[in-house]
Each structure stands twice: as structure tokens, then as C-alpha cells.
Structure 1
Amino acid sequence: MKILFSNYHHYLNTNSRNSLIYKNLTQLFKRRLFLPVCVLIGTVALVSGCSEKTSEHQKKYSILVMSKEHVQYVIQTDTLDGGTIDPIKTGASVLSPKRIWFYMMVKNGNYFYINRKTDYFVRNRIIDNQFTPIDSLHLPDMRDLENYNWYHPDSLLIISYPGKMKSPLYARINTTTMTATTGVLQLPIPYAPFNNMTVGFSEFSKDKLWVGYTYHKSSPEGYGSSDTVYVANLNYPSMSLNKVFKDSRSTYPGSVNTSEETAFRDEKNDFYYLSCPGFARGGNPQQSTAIYRIKAGENEPDSSYFFNISASSIANHAYGMWYIGNNKAIVRSERKELFKTFEDHYMKPHMEFYEVDLTTKAVHKLALPLDKGTSRTCVLSENGLVYISVNSDTEGNYIWVYNPKTKSLKKGLKLEGDVDYIFRLEKLYN
């Protein structure tokens, strides 16, 4: 993948009020948002000529794609059920950062990410069809984002591992005021032979915080994970550690939720999470992919619940899981006979989608084309329907519409043009 360079475009909405212009400019400088000097100069020159654009119609969905030239584009739309769009021709290009598809967070029309070069948490919007930075917050050593959790409409928890055999760091961010409380997550540090660790999920429960994690070892000889799922129970808001629960039936609970969802709560407020020991995540493929549960109001994981995905008719490792209601979830799994290398895993179509029943553990394969891309935010459930983006080399790039009641599938929105991957499919406002 070729290197992409920064090309920020800046815009300020004046609302015909000079006081707001200068207030916005002052806030940008105070927050030390990293913009090229030439862009800031251009901003001042353009302020008097800007029209009111932020009052334009708010779209419902956001789709992030990558072209075959390895350029990312964001396009917003009101419908997923049909029609055609060309994100390359009509979308907003995202020239930096180059891997934003792996760690972008979408909320209320905003696009958030960590600038890994500067340690700034940046808020963007699409303005005049430009991916536009409008605010930022400095979060030192938080560049390697592993997990995020919207626990209130404007409150975001992010967790990052700083390396150097330390415990993970956290930041609780108010995304309206762009202020944060930061600290160290009091988890046991990596131990030999492991030299790093990842936090796969976080979930608030009244005055407690559940955190799933595991340890990894990486060297020139290869990569692998411990053979254990670790689940920590912490006090909130003190973030002090209560207890760590261990389960050696699998490893890597939650995986990387910035790129692919793996945990949720159901209607009864029970919390489910997927473990990801497979080749592309945990590097421990001899263990089983499984779904675990923490029942509502309980103070420990439900040791009696273990949905062994690898031992089911899926018979493979999975990396994504999305709740669709009525005790059902969509699981995205690999076909191990169709790839050999990690590059194959990313490039070759070999991923399948299954509907699983969390209660009966029944499995239903969806009749979709083979999908490609190891990490994708690709399932969205709304109004009784499930929208699934599929990158198919044979049938094109579509948002498919699945009806769980009738078990029917149909093609919805078509993404035309030079699209290689549909990386993210998300609601803009939720």
C-alpha cells in the first residue's frame, strides 16, 4: 500500500457573525490542531466569503471505502435499500491518515480518530464534501488505539497500549467540550514470554467496568498470544481493579473493536463477547473461537455459557459479531482452506456470514458471495432488517439486505466505480 500524505482542508462556518469566526479561530489555536501554515492562512482569507453550510440536510449513513489506488473516500447517504452511488467520484477523499478505516469512530455526524504521529485526538466533519478537521485534543502516548466505548451520547472511553511492558492507558473524553480524564488501567503487565498486551472489549455496568484482554508475544520469529481469556472487573469511576477472571478455552476476547464489532448487550442487558484466537488476530488457531456471556447484574462471567463457534457447523475461526435482536447475531468467519498467508487473508475473498442463535446455538449460513478484507465494520441492524456490505470480486460491491424473519436476502445499494473495499458501514447519528 503506497504512502499517502496529508492534505487537510479547512473550513469555518461564519453564520454571518464575526464573533463566532474569531471564537472558532481562537479555539483552533488553543487546541493546537496540526494544520499546515498555508491552510491556516487560507482559512483567514476565506472566512468572509464562507456561506452557511452546516445547516444542510443531515444524511443517515456513512460509508468508508478504499479505491484500487489505495485512496480512502467517505460518502454519506440516506438509503441502503437500493440505488447506486459512486464513492470515488462523489465522496470526500481521506488522504490522511492512511489507515483511518482501522480506527475511525463515527458519532453524531463526526469522525474521530487518533493521529498516530502527533498523539492528537481529532474531530472531523464532512463540509463542502471535504474531510475537514475542526477540533482536537492532545492525548500523549495514546496512539495505538485498541478499544473504544460510547458510554454516553458525548462520552467516549478509549484504551491504548503504550508498549514498554506497561499497563494500558485510558482516556474518558467529552467529545462536545473536547476535554478528557486520563489514567492507567490497573491491569497486570505482560510477563515472559509475552512482551505486549491488548484490550479487546470494555463495558460499563453501573459502578463497574468490565475489560477483556490478553497477552501477546511478537518477535522476528513470529507472533502469538497467550492461551487464556482474561476478563477484569474494575470499579468505576475510580478505575481500581477488583478481580481478574481467567478462561483457557480460548484467547483474545473482543479483538480490535475499532475495526470490527465483537461485543454487545441484548434486550435483557446480558453482555456477549467473541474471542478471536484465529490466524489473523490471536495467532493461536489451535484454540476455538467462542462466544462468552456476562449476565446482567452478575459480578463474574457466566462460566456455564460457551458457544464454540469453531466446533459448530461454521467449523472455522471468526473475527466479527453483530447483534440483530431476538437472541440472534451475525458472525463473520473465515474459510481456512482458501488462504495461506496473511496477505491472502486480507486480499482473497474467503469470508462468510452466519446468523447464530445465542440461546439454542443454532447456525444459519447466509447465501452471500464470499467477502474479502480481514477487518471490516460491515453489519448494521435497523428496523428489523440487517444491512451487510460485501466486497465481491464476482458480484460487485453491494449493501445486501437481510430479513431475519423471512431469512431472505436481496441486493440493496450498489457501490459503483473503482471501489476495492467497503471498509465501514455506520449510522451517522445514534
Structure 2
Amino acid sequence: MIKNPRQIFWYLLSAMIAFTVGCAERESGQSDTLQKKYSIYTMAEDGQEFLMTADSLSGGRLEPEKSGVKVDPQRIFYELIVHKGYYYRLDAKTQEFLKIGIENKKFTTKSRLKLEGFSAIDNYNWITPDSLLIIGYDDKSAEVKYAKIHLDNMTAVQGKLPLPAPSGGFNWTSVGFSHFMNGQLLVGYTYHAAHDLLGYTTSDTMYVATLSYPALKNLKNYKDHRTTYPGGVNTRQSHFFTDENGDFYFITCPGIALGNNPAKPTAIMRIRKSDGSIDPDYFFNISASPIQNNGYGFWYLGKGKAIVRTERKALFTGMGDHYKVPHFDFYEVDLETQTTTRLNLPLDKGTARQCVIVENGIAYIAVNSDSAGNYIWIYNPENHGLKKGLQLLGQTDYILRIERLN
């Protein structure tokens, strides 16, 4: 049976961990998270997962077993959308979009919205501050589906995007980014061949479709063979952003842990605000830079600088140990000069993590280190200063997510 390629590597990893199902539900009550600034999601050495809230990441200590709330169901750290004190996720089994809060120290479903044809979210994008566009591939119909969700009343309008179906040995489509620009919707995507848990790879081509909005008619198409898998699943971590000039930057992800076409280079590419098109002269080849490896996460620091999270391929043997072996570096990249500088941080572990928050020009970076501890580090790009902030204690093995809650 064909598996969702977005989840294939997670299935391999989760075979080593017990999977817990079930979700508490309440009819009423106010979320305990509405007044806190930050959300922190951790995993303990025994596999238990906890959510905590905090007003500062700059210092102090937290012990999840004492101050956290157990996540229920567990193993959902790849799936969350965090917004205004609530957590949103798609339940693949029921095809329901859930709004979840923390009430009386319990992870509590507040409301449910049925979304036919959705088993996973490839990509989400904000239409307004309280309305959401989610996109995912439906293997039954071989179509890329979308849903425009109004979070205030949990209603949705659904449809399909006019993207060509996979063919020629490919049987899955992944949308790596969607971006509103100049009254149009830009959609970056690629195709996969996915036959079983081990037989998964990605086309050697990336595509960008320009669609009218809201009619969603296909206006033009772009394809590029230099790299593949534009963007990535942004419920897991950031892969794109818009700079101060309105130009849109995205990273491509052909590495073993996402595209599984590591012969292709990881690259940063740009769509210009001026004409809404891929800049043909801009191709920042990360793999050919001093980094010399594939990268995944991509976060904007401001003033033309960004952070890229990159793997060291010499330190792991394959997907079986990719998640648990410390082998990730963080680099500051200069988008204009296309230069790179490694941040002096301990080697990090965890394949895909929402592990960077940038606020007021300061980056908060969660690092899981077997030797140096689990800290949120504070990086100031103005003076390249690095210092330790909040420490996660107890049995913490991974800081899986940090994000702004309110």
C-alpha cells in the first residue's frame, strides 16, 4: 500500500517508540494558554511528550515532568499549527481539523471540522490573521486539495488546485510552499515515487505554478532541474519567508530526510516582488558552499541574513539514526553575498524541528545536545553574540518545537 511520503521517515522512526492514541474533549472552558507568550514541546528519554508555556526564553529552567502537560495523542510534533493561544492539527484517521487548548492541565479538543480528502497538511498559509489556507495531496483522487478555514467559527470552503497529476512512475505530489503575491497565489511543488516505506524518492525537477486568486486559474508554470522539492512541510519547520522588500525566499530540500534525492543540491531561491517570477540569476547553492551538505530549516533574521539548519552527512549512516545522532549545524547565511558563517553551537539532533524564533532581530535557537544539555540559545546577529537562555531539565531528550503562542 502506498504511504504518504511526508510521513514515511516518521513511520520508520516511530517503530522504535510506542504510539499512544486518544484525545480528551471538553465542551467548554477557557484555555490555560491564552496569556502566555511561548509554547515549548519536548520529548523525554522514555518517549513521553510534554507541552509547556513560558513568558520568556531568555533564562531560567523548566522541568517538563513537573511543569508540563502531557501531549495527547503523542507523536504529533510534526503536525501542529500554533495560533493565538491554541493548537491546530489534522487528524489523519478521521480527516478532522482540530482546535485544541490546554484546560486544567489537559490537552483538550475544543472543536472539530470535517475535511473530506485530507489525510495530511503539506503546507499552510495565512489568508487573514484568522483565516487559513491549507493544502494537501489526496492519493485517492490524485488531486491536490485545499481548504480555506475560518478559525473563529471553524468553517471551511474546499476545492482542488489545478496542478498536473503525477505520472511516469511518480504517484505523489508534495506542495512545499504557497505564497500570496501581487494578487496571485504562487505554489511550489514536486513529485515523488512512493511504493513502500523504503522505496521513496523525489523527481529531479521542481515546479512553481502561478495561479489567479481567488479563481485559482493556472496562469503560468516554471520548472527547474538544478534542484528539487521547493520548500517543505511547514507544520514541521520553516522553509521560506518574505524579506523587507517583499521578495520571497525559499530553500529546496532534496536531502535524505525529506526529498531523498541527495545527489541534488540544497539551494536558496528567490521570487521577485517586482514581477512575481523566479529570479533566474539567483541560485544560492548551499551544498556547494563551505557547508558542503544538505540543509532543511530556513529562518529570516532580517537585513538580508537568515539561518539554515544543515546536516553533516559523515556523522550518520542513514534514516535509522538520522533523528537520534547529533549532527546538525546552524549557519548564518548572507542572502546578498551568498556567504555562510557557522554559529558556534553544539551539534544538534532531531530531523525536523520548529526550533528557531526570531523577534526584534534576536534569534532564539533550541539545541538538543547529548553533551552540552538542552538549551534555548540566544543569538544576536549584530555582534554575533551567543549565550545560553532557558534550560530544559529533567528527563528531556529533545526540544521538539518552540514558537510564539500569543
Q: Fold match, TM over 0.5?
A: yes
1:29-428 correspondence runs (5 A):
58-96=35-73, 98-164=74-140, 166-220=142-196, 222-428=199-405
Question: Quick one: distance in 2 between partners of 1:54 and 1:140?
Answer: 28
Question: Quick one: distance in 2 between partners of 1:57 and 1:117?
Answer: 28
Letter in 2 for 1:163: D
How many Å apart are 1:57 and its aligned residue?
6.8
Task: Specify the SS of the correspondent of 1:343.
Answer: helix
Any stretches of 5+ residues in structure 2 without a counterpart? 1-16
Task: Specify the SS of the correspondent of 2:204.
Answer: coil
Report if the CA contact (8 A) 1:225-1:251 is conserved. yes
How many Å apart are 1:269 and its aligned residue?
0.6
TM-score normalized with structure 2 length: 0.93
Greater RCO, CA 8 A, separation 6+? 2
How many Å apart are 1:69 and its aligned residue?
2.2
Task: Specify the SS of the correspondent of 1:161.
Answer: strand
The two structures, once aligned, show a CA RMSD in angstroms of 1.4
How many Å apart are 1:56 and its aligned residue?
8.2
Question: Quick one: distance in 2 between partners of 1:411 and 1:148?
Answer: 32
Task: Specify the SS of the correspondent of 1:344.
Answer: helix
How many Å apart are 1:193 and its aligned residue?
1.2
How many Å apart are 1:84 and its aligned residue?
0.2
Question: Quick one: distance in 1 between partners of 2:334 and 2:368?
Answer: 25
Rate the CA distance shift 1:55–1:414 in 2: closer, same or farther, 3 A: closer
Report if the CA contact (8 A) 1:11-1:132 is conserved. no
Report if the CA contact (8 A) 1:259-1:375 is conserved. yes
Sequence identity percentage: 48
Task: Specify the SS of the correspondent of 2:26.
Answer: coil
Task: Specify the SS of the correspondent of 1:421.
Answer: strand
Question: Quick one: distance in 2 between partners of 1:199 and 1:383?
Answer: 30
Question: Quick one: distance in 2 between partners of 1:88 and 1:203?
Answer: 39
Hey, what does 1:12 align to over in structure 2?
Answer: 28
Alignment deviations for residues 199-233 of structure 1 (CA, whole Å, 9 cap, x no partner): 00000113200110000002246211111110110
Question: Quick one: distance in 1 between partners of 2:320 and 2:31?
Answer: 41
Any stretches of 5+ residues in structure 1 without a counterpart? 14-52
Task: Specify the SS of the correspondent of 2:278.
Answer: coil
Q: If you compute each CA radius of gyration, which structure gives the higher value, 1 or 2?
A: 1
State the number of aligned residues. 389
Report if the CA contact (8 A) 2:33-2:85 is conserved. no
How many Å apart are 1:71 and its aligned residue?
2.1
Letter in 1 for 2:234: N
Alignment deviations for residues 306-345 of structure 1 (CA, whole Å, 9 cap, x no partner): 0000010111000110001010000000000001110211
Q: Which has the higher helix share?
A: 1
Rate the CA distance shift 1:428–1:55 in 2: closer, same or farther, 3 A: closer
Question: Quick one: distance in 2 between partners of 1:86 and 1:104?
Answer: 22
Question: Quick one: distance in 2 between partners of 1:377 and 1:93?
Answer: 19
Report if the CA contact (8 A) 1:391-1:398 is conserved. yes
